[in-house]
Amino acid sequence: MATITEREAKAITSAVLGAAMAPEVIVSVRHRQTGNLRFAQTQPTTEGSVETVEVSVSATIQGRSATVTGNQTDKASLAALMVEAEELAALSPVNPEHQPPVGKGAYLEVAGHDPATAKLDAAQRAAIAGRAIAAAARADVELAGYLEHREQSFAVATSAGAFAYHPSTAAALTVTARTRDQTGSGWAGAESHRGKAIDGGALTELAAEKAELSAAPQALAPGKQVVILEPQAVAELLEFLVDALDARAADEGRSWFSRPDGGARLGEELFHTSINLRSNPADKQHPSAPFTADGQAHKIVDWIRDGVLSSLTRSRFWADKTGTAAVPPPSSILLEGADLDLLELVGAVDRGVLVTRFWYNRTLDPRTILATGLTRDGTFLVERGKITAAVKNFRYNDSPVNMLQNVLALGRPQRVYTRGGRVMVVPPMVVKDFNFSSTSDAV
Amino acid sequence: MRPMSTSRRGFLRTTGAVAGAGVCWPLVARADPPGSRQRAPVKAPASGDLQLLAGSPLLADEALAARALAAATRAGASYADARLVAWQRERIAVSDDHIRGVQRSSEYGLGIRVIAGGAWGFAATPRLDPRSVEDAAKRAVAAAKINAGLRREPVELAPLAAIVGSWVSPHTIDPWTITPQDKAELLIRASQAALAVAGVDHSAAGVETQREEKLLLSSEGARIHQLLVRIRPSLTATAVDRRRGQFASRDHEIAPMLAGWEHLEDAKLVDDAPQIGEDAVRKLHAAPVEPGERTVILDPSNLWLTIHESIGHPTELDRALGLEANYAGTSFIDPRQTGALELGNEMINFVADRTQPGGLATCAWDDDGVGTERWKLVENGVLVDWQTTRDQAHWIRAKTGDKAGHACSYADSYASVPFQRMPNVSLQPGPEGYTREDLINATEDGILITGRGSWSIDQQRYNFQFSGQFFWEIKNGRLARPLRDVAYQANTVEFWRSCDMLGGVGSYRLGGSFSDGKGEPSQSNAVSHGCPPGRFKVNVVSTAGKPSKGAK
């Protein structure tokens, strides 16, 4: 059940490029073998062993471009895909922002493939889920969860000579424990490129403890509060800011990063001086993709350095137009922290609210990156350094900008669960004046 | 329940003379699909041209699907179904006066689902050869048997007579017969028309089309072949005030539909574009909203999403029973309250309907092979039924008499497991026949909200906050001035109980989404919601963030 090797990937991309009449072609191949197991009501519900393939071909003829994606890899299908891309491109209007494909370049060495994780199967899924279910039974909570592992081969080639291949693995488990009377709910999750980092028993014990602690919550008045945001909550809010790091939107006046008199706010101290936000695809513990689907390299980037905005993402068109370097949206985000446990942060707070995670987060106002959402699965009152009560969930209306400006303390960074999306490693944070706008009865 | 019109121009064309008569439900089926639909309480939805299925490439692989079923049965499956699913998607996007992207994708493969030892198993492969499909079948059975050891009770499927049938969603123009150039030219004309408005700095337009074809075979003898065509147009204008560092965007409120290219032609995007541009500029210079307890009139273009989130999701039976607790969440409704819980006042009636013409979740049979239907969820404010599938019917049968489930099973790919997904859930119009203008004229002080803005709701669906596209202050029964940064926050039950006016049949419209997310791994479902405009009491909040000048 292995995914394609570099040689097999190259055979596919070469078959496509070899069939091309168009002068400019980009081809990418993504081959996945995924295993998953869902459980709820403390028993397995559905599961799957799924193979997927994506071959994506972009063709450009005299500034006219089109992208076609298929999932069949026989020679005839690949040639047909190339022809369809060319036919569509010829029919398409000229794109004045078209950029020629990237040429041969250097990519970071990333070790993201763990052979043991690639070999996980239904029996091992059941074993991990079985430990979670047994822990839930011991704690007398109702458990729901999701376990997924996958192996992936990803390759890109261009008519300008670029070729890149990246094999990787990923595994993740999330669990939600609910008290029998349905008044308490706790969540825990883990994600890694190594399956052995996933401990179903330990995660379930943490979720069960949170469920019990969160039972029968009291309503606390909304308003501005000191909050201790666990890494999962930090990441969920931070993501809005990462997605807003776009130079063109800033230059065109459509972003929080726009300078009122035009241009972007690069070089300005926009955040607390303790904030350092970086990307590093080659991070040993938390590897991520070293290139994009069009063959651009993901590099080590400092986005925010000591609170100063130092980089923005920039499309190749915008980089060309403004005479600057192109920077693709990152495959990993690392927010630096300090060597402190979550409970050490809690211990330093006189009065505040501890937030496990957020839910249904949506942008409200792109001008200020204002977002809304709700706390979920473990929201607690902290008094004099101790968790003293469960509190009802809150809706927040606040911005990650404020989070990065109003930070009081940072803890130890931790990989968070992103459903297989961008790798995010962020610390728990203590933040002042966080705006809770209303409460919710949801458990 | 009285018949109603969906009032969408695109839909009217799609269904021809029947819709032209102004009565779209119950529908006189033009071409009943062959095959039986025993026990289905309504006739099948009208089919499009079944000849479109005659030359289907899926037919060439039907023997492989049968082979997978046989392999699963040999390996010990007590039930198996095999789905051959082919997707085609196309997206054309333009910005300002030029093309931004032309994308097409296709996906084809086989998913085999089994019950063995009383547990579900599933495997999927894009490789359509005898060995690959048999391997998939064996993997699914082996995994089911392993997981059975962790189950407390076996999966139970409601008895069902095997159905043989075919269905094609009605459409008059296959979107794949229109070249990308013609599509782009129309979109560019619309985008340019918005951009031509003084004060508009950017505009964008797009169209996304879907063609979903599936052939379902089951070990019980079902054979169901269906083709669904959906289309989603969009148009946006953005106005920027650099001096104040402000900008505002305005989206067209057009709904996606189960329809062909005719929906876009009827939409008159180019004609509407100057208005969209002018609205963006007006929104930029609109007055800030005064937060507090307010009366709001919610246009169908806004209210459909509130229905989706506050009524659609909490009446999914699997959520209420904890099956989605780890991701989408549970429900504030306990199934034991069925027949008793007052979700709204007596004006409030919700109907679920997978036969509704133009509805994105409409089809003839679900992915379990159960015939689709129309049924009541909330009657005179009281919860009376749920969204269910064949393996859920026994959980609620004693309360609702559910026999084989309400045909809500759907999988979004060959590679996805079918599970309970939302049908079209719609609010029924009021009997007084009010228009939107009647509601406005009857309102001393309020806000009219149209279009879809930001939305967020908790995991049990109590507390929600929705914004919109455009906001008008209402004073003394008249639209007084545009407002900006408006959102309304409420508790679901309080919200539906606060409704004191509903529009009539003539004001009923469909809204919808291509991408309702649920399940793990997350699957996407297309679904529509119909409603008239309604008047409610809510907590209005301002979504304007304070302009920030950086740290300290």
Are residues A233 and A161 located together in one domain of the fold?
A: no
Chain B CB contacts of A45 under 8 Å are 120, 323
B503, burial (CB in 10 Å: exposed 0-12, middle 13-18, buried 19+): buried
Name the closest residue on chain A to residue B128, using Cα atoms. A72
Query: How far is the CA of B429 from the CAs of A304, B2, B362, B468, in angstroms?
Result: 53, 9, 20, 21
pLDDT, tens digit (0-9, with 9 covering 90-100), for B354-404: 999 999 999 999 999 999 999 999 999 999 999 999 999 999 999 999 999
Position A92 confidence tier, pLDDT thresholds 50, 70, 90: confident
3-state secondary structure chain A: CCCCCHHHHHHHHHHHHHCCCCCEEEEEEEEEEEEEEEEECCEEEEEEEEEEEEEEEEEEECCEEEEEEECCCCHHHHHHHHHHHHHHHHHCCECCCCCCCCECCCCCCCCECCHHHHCCCHHHHHHHHHHHHHHHHHHCEEEEEEEEEEEEEEEEEECCECEEEEEEEEEEEEEEEEECCCCCEEEEEEEECCHHHCCHHHHHHHHHHHHHHCCCCECCCCEEEEEEECHHHHHHHHHHHHHCCEHHHHHCCCCCCECCCCCECCCCECCCCCCCEEECCCCCCCCCCCECCCCCECCCEEEEECCEECCCEECHHHHHHHCCCCECCCCEEEECCCCCCHHHHHHCCCEEEEEEEEEEEEEEECCCCEEEEEEEEEEEEEECCEEEEEECEEEEEECHHHHHHCEEEECCCEECCCCCCCEEEECCEEEEEEEEEEEECCC
What are residue B71's phi and psi, to 5 degrees? -65, -40
Are residues A296 and A440 located together in one domain of the fold?
A: yes
Are residues A31 and A166 located together in one domain of the fold?
A: yes
pLDDT, tens digit (0-9, with 9 covering 90-100), for B333-354: 999 999 999 999 999 999 999 9
Q: Two tokens at A409?
A: 């303390």
- For residues A283-293, give the mean pLDDT: 97
Are residues A132 and A203 located together in one domain of the fold?
A: yes
Looking at residue B397, its amino acid is: R
Are residues A140 and A228 located together in one domain of the fold?
A: no
Sign of the CA dihedral running A89, A95, A100, A101: negative
Are residues A339 and A223 located together in one domain of the fold?
A: yes
Nearest by CB to residue A46, choosing from B419, B487, B543, is: B419
Sign of the CA dihedral running A279, A281, A284, A286: positive
Q: Which residues pair with A40 in a beta bridge?
A: A43
Mean pLDDT score of chain A: 96
- For residues B222-227, give the mean pLDDT: 97
Q: Two tokens at A286?
A: 């938390």
Pairing assessment for the beta strands A24-40 and A141-158 based on DSSP bridges? antiparallel
Are residues A280 and A414 located together in one domain of the fold?
A: yes
At residue A261, does pLDDT exceed 80?
yes
Chain B CB contacts of A372 under 8 Å are 454, 456, 465, 487, 543
Task: Establish if A1 belongs to a structural domain.
Answer: no
Question: Does the beta-carbon distance from A47 to B242 stay under 8 Å?
Answer: no
At residue B10, does pLDDT exceed 50?
no
Position A400 confidence tier, pLDDT thresholds 50, 70, 90: very high
Q: Are A319 and A326 in contact (CB under 8 A)?
A: yes
Question: Does the beta-carbon distance from B521 to A367 stay under 8 Å?
Answer: no
Q: 3-state DSSP helix/strand/coil percent for chain B, to nearest 5?
A: 25, 35, 40
Nearest by CB to residue A47, choosing from B147, B243, B487, is: B147
- For residues B276-297, give the mean pLDDT: 96
Give the distance from residue B401's alpha carbon to the nearest chain A alpha carbon, in angstroms.
24
Looking at residue B503, its amino acid is: G
Residue appearing with tokens 């937060």: B291
Are residues A83 and A193 located together in one domain of the fold?
A: yes
Name the closest residue on chain A to residue B238, using Cα atoms. A254
At residue A422, does pLDDT exceed 90?
yes
Tally A–B CB contacts below 8 A.
283
Question: Does the beta-carbon distance from B120 to A47 stay under 8 Å?
Answer: yes
- State pTM to two decimals: 0.93
Name the closest residue on chain A to residue B467, using Cα atoms. A364
- For residues A206-219, give the mean pLDDT: 96
At residue B327, does pLDDT exceed 50?
yes
**Alpha carbon distance, N-terminus to C-terminus of chain A:** 41
Task: Establish if A322 belongs to a structural domain.
Answer: no
At residue B533, does pLDDT exceed 80?
yes
Position B7 confidence tier, pLDDT thresholds 50, 70, 90: very low
Question: Does the beta-carbon distance from B417 to A48 stay under 8 Å?
Answer: yes
Residue to substitute from B152, B465, B493, interface A, most A β-carbons within 10 A: B465
Nearest-5° angle of CA A230, CA A236, CA A241? 120
At residue B20, does pLDDT exceed 80?
no
Task: Establish if A286 belongs to a structural domain.
Answer: yes
Task: Establish if A320 belongs to a structural domain.
Answer: no
Nearest by CB to residue A72, choosing from B126, B332, B465, is: B126
- For residues A297-321, give the mean pLDDT: 98
Nearest by CB to residue B184, choosing from A43, A93, A122, is: A93
Give the distance from residue A290's alpha carbon to the nearest chain B alpha carbon, in angstroms.
24
Name the closest residue on chain A to residue B469, using Cα atoms. A364
Name the closest residue on chain B to residue A43, using Cα atoms. B151
Question: Does the beta-carbon distance from A34 to B144 stay under 8 Å?
Answer: no
C-alpha gyration radius of chain A: 24
Give the distance from residue A153's alpha carbon to the nearest chain B alpha carbon, in angstroms.
16
Position B11 confidence tier, pLDDT thresholds 50, 70, 90: very low
pLDDT, tens digit (0-9, with 9 covering 90-100), for A20-30: 999 999 999 99
**What percentage of chain B reaches a pLDDT higher than 90?**
85
Give the distance from residue A283's alpha carbon to the nearest chain B alpha carbon, in angstroms.
27
- The pLDDT of residue A88: 92
- The pLDDT of residue A373: 95
**What percentage of chain B reaches a pLDDT higher than 70?**
91
Query: A386 is in which domain, residue-wise?
Result: 217-245+267-311+329-443
Pick the residue with more confidence: A214 or B40?
A214
Q: Two tokens at A368?
A: 């200020």
Closest CA to A102 of A331, A316, A327, A290: A316
- For residues A114-120, give the mean pLDDT: 98
How many folded domains does chain A comprise? 2
Give the distance from residue A22's alpha carbon to the nearest chain B alpha carbon, in angstroms.
16
Give the whole-angstrom CA distance, residue A53 versus residue B414.
12
Give the distance from residue A287's alpha carbon to the nearest chain B alpha carbon, in angstroms.
22
**Alpha carbon distance, N-terminus to C-terminus of chain B:** 61
- The pLDDT of residue B43: 61
Residue to substitute from A365, A369, A379, A433, interface B, most B β-carbons within 10 A: A365
Q: Are B357 and B19 in contact (CB under 8 A)?
A: yes
Q: Are A172 and A420 in contact (CB under 8 A)?
A: yes
Q: Are A201 and A188 in contact (CB under 8 A)?
A: no
Position A238 confidence tier, pLDDT thresholds 50, 70, 90: very high
Are residues A84 and A142 located together in one domain of the fold?
A: yes
Q: Two tokens at A246?
A: 């776009």
Are residues A196 and A234 located together in one domain of the fold?
A: no
Give the distance from residue B325's alpha carbon to the nearest chain A alpha carbon, in angstroms.
6
- The pLDDT of residue A343: 95
Sign of the CA dihedral running B54, B60, B65, B67: positive
- For residues B216-240, give the mean pLDDT: 97
Chain-centroid distance, C-alpha A225: 27
What are residue A235's phi and psi, to 5 degrees? -65, -40
Mean pLDDT score of chain B: 90
Give the whole-angstrom CA distance, residue B467 versus residue B543.
8
Position B186 confidence tier, pLDDT thresholds 50, 70, 90: very high
Question: Does the beta-carbon distance from B551 to A405 stay under 8 Å?
Answer: yes
Give the distance from residue B19's alpha carbon to the nearest chain A alpha carbon, in angstroms.
36
Task: Establish if A256 belongs to a structural domain.
Answer: no
Q: Two tokens at B435?
A: 């228009």
- What residues contact A11, with CB distance under 8 A and at least 6 apart? none
Chain A CB contacts of B492 under 8 Å are none
Name the closest residue on chain B to residue A363, using Cα atoms. B454
Residue to substitute from A49, A87, A182, interface B, most B β-carbons within 10 A: A49
Q: Which of A390-404, B15-29, B525-539 has the lowest mean pLDDT?
A: B15-29
Task: Establish if A254 belongs to a structural domain.
Answer: no
Closest CA to B389 of B511, B214, B518, B239: B518
Sign of the CA dihedral running B451, B9, B235, B423: positive
- E strands, B178-272, in order: 200-218, 223-241, 246-251
Looking at residue B183, its amino acid is: K
Q: Are A311 and A400 in contact (CB under 8 A)?
A: no
Chain B CB contacts of A253 under 8 Å are 201, 240, 242, 245, 247
H/E element, B263:
helix B262-267
ipTM: 0.95
Give the whole-angstrom CA distance, residue A347 versus residue A332.
31
Give the distance from residue B487's alpha carbon to the nearest chain A alpha carbon, in angstroms.
9
Residue to substitute from A97, A258, A364, interface B, most B β-carbons within 10 A: A364
Give the distance from residue A315's alpha carbon to the nearest chain B alpha carbon, in angstroms.
13
Give the whole-angstrom CA distance, residue A112 versus residue A191.
13
Question: Does the beta-carbon distance from A253 to B127 stay under 8 Å?
Answer: no
Task: Establish if A26 belongs to a structural domain.
Answer: yes
Name the closest residue on chain A to residue B139, using Cα atoms. A49
Give the whole-angstrom CA distance, residue B46 versus residue B258.
12
Sign of the CA dihedral running B66, B71, B74, B77: negative
Question: Does the beta-carbon distance from A176 to B325 stay under 8 Å?
Answer: yes
- The pLDDT of residue A419: 85
Question: Does the beta-carbon distance from B326 to A145 stay under 8 Å?
Answer: yes
- What residues contact A185, with CB distance under 8 A and at least 6 apart? A176, A177, A178, A179, A210, A211, A214, A376, A377, A378, A443, B325
Chain A CB contacts of B201 under 8 Å are 252-253
Are residues A239 and A354 located together in one domain of the fold?
A: yes
Q: Are A324 and A334 in contact (CB under 8 A)?
A: no
Question: Does the beta-carbon distance from B104 to A37 stay under 8 Å?
Answer: no
Residue to substitute from A367, A368, A406, interface B, most B β-carbons within 10 A: A367
CATH classification at residue A191: 3.30.2290.10
Position A91 confidence tier, pLDDT thresholds 50, 70, 90: confident
Are residues A200 and A76 located together in one domain of the fold?
A: yes
pLDDT, tens digit (0-9, with 9 covering 90-100), for A137-184: 999 999 999 999 999 999 999 999 999 999 999 999 999 999 999 999
Looking at residue A209, its amino acid is: E
Nearest by CB to residue A442, choosing from B98, B188, B458, is: B458
At residue B214, does pLDDT exceed 70?
yes
Task: Establish if A319 belongs to a structural domain.
Answer: no
Name the closest residue on chain A to residue B548, using Cα atoms. A368
Closest CA to B87 of B58, B45, B114: B58
- The pLDDT of residue B546: 62
Residue to substitute from A51, A147, A305, interface B, most B β-carbons within 10 A: A51
Give the distance from residue A269's alpha carbon to the nearest chain B alpha carbon, in angstroms.
7
Position B242 confidence tier, pLDDT thresholds 50, 70, 90: confident
